Amino acid sequence: MSIIVNTREMEYIPEETMTQLLKRMKYMFPLVVVKIDGVVIPRVEFPETTFPDGVNIEIIHLISGG
Amino acid sequence: MVTTMNKTPEDISNTLGTATVGIAGAGGLGSNVAIALARAGVGNLVVVDFDSVEQSNLNRQFYFHSQVGMAKVLALKENISKACPDVNMLAINGRLELGAMTVPFTDVDVVVEALDSAETKAQFIEETLLKLPNIPLVAASGVAGIGGGERIVQNNSGKLWMVSDPEARSSDEDVLLAPKVGLMAYWQANIVLELLLGTNKNFDEKLEGNN
């Protein structure tokens, strides 16, 4: 029972939402772009988004400056 | 001469000359991406920014002292035309509004994310990937600081290409200066050329997949 988050293996927690996963990973919610198995998840859907065991999640973290 | 990309200089110049690149932001990243692409021969640019040139921008952005107070996109158009009079730049002096951020870029070949705050970057990347799923997007993150060049990496995920220094501090906590901002802007421009010329391996595979 595990998921891949940014190439790292993490424990899979059934029913965990994307918002909860971001909190577990200590990512700041407004500063990321999230893909589940290559599909972009709109931020407004994070609180309701759950995912099955074994998925590959990419969390792209942005840092200010330009 | 046939270059390493298996293209003649004429092929390269023809392809780039008819290409259009959209750039979101005309600050440290955007102004430098724009001039790099113009000099390389990209014929058409669409640049969007709502800001005016400030004295504090001159340490890294492609503007001049005499342009302080001028709308950035208009100053940029003037500067690009001095170096590359044949480049056609559409200057859009306005804000990218949430929900309509991709509107200026629906007809471009590649989009460049050159925004400032992390939150706006994330919103723009998300919106562009969702609304313009067939247009490659080149973004940058972590441009603040001095040194650390060995940490800068290029990553690709689907249509998104990222130039990032994952260990950089935010621009609220570190300086923004010409060398590192310029490095990352020119790196973005280099990826854009690869995408336009179809020499990026991943992009080639995607194109073949579409045919």
Q: Nearest CA of chain B to the CA of A49: how many Å?
A: 16
Domain count, chain A: 1
Residues spanned by the domain of A56 = 2-61
Least confident span in A27-36, B4-13, B54-63, B79-88: B4-13
> Structure pTM?
0.94
Q: Is residue A44 less than 8 Å (CB to CB) from chain B?
A: no
Question: Residue ranges per domain, chain B?
Answer: 9-210
pLDDT digits (tens, 9 = 90+) for B141-159: 999 999 999 999 999 999 9
User: Is residue B203 over pLDDT 60?
Assistant: no
Query: Which of B121, B143, B177, B206 has the highest number of chain A CBs within 10 A, making it the mutation to test binding with A?
Result: B121
Instruction: Please report residues of A whose CB lies closer than 8 A to that of B30.
Output: 66
Q: What is the pLDDT of residue B5?
A: 73
Q: Nearest CA of chain B to the CA of A31: how many Å?
A: 5
Q: How many CB atoms lie within 10 A of CB B5?
A: 13
Q: How many CB atoms lie within 10 A of CB B11?
A: 14
Q: Which residues contact A3 (CB under 8 A, 6 or more apart)?
A: A9, A10, A11, A12, A51, A53, A54, A55, A56, A57
pLDDT digits (tens, 9 = 90+) for B74-122: 999 999 999 999 999 999 999 999 999 999 999 999 999 999 999 999 9
* ipTM (interface predicted TM): 0.94
pLDDT digits (tens, 9 = 90+) for B172-198: 999 999 999 999 999 999 999 999 999
Alpha-carbon dihedral angle through residues B33, B42, B207, B191, given to the nearest 10 degrees: -30
User: Is residue A26 over pLDDT 50?
Assistant: yes
Size of interface A-B (CB pairs under 8 A): 82
What is B9-210's CATH superfamily?
A: NAD(P)-binding Rossmann-like Domain (3.40.50.720)
> What CATH number is associated with residue A41?
3.10.20.30
Could you tell me if residue A66 is inside a domain? no
Instruction: Please report residues of B whose CB lies closer than 8 A to that of A65.
Output: 28, 116, 142-144, 168, 170-171, 174, 176, 181
Q: Does B110 or B204 have the greater pLDDT score?
A: B110
Q: Nearest CA of chain A to the CA of B139: how many Å?
A: 10
Rounded Cα distance, B116 and B114, in Å: 7
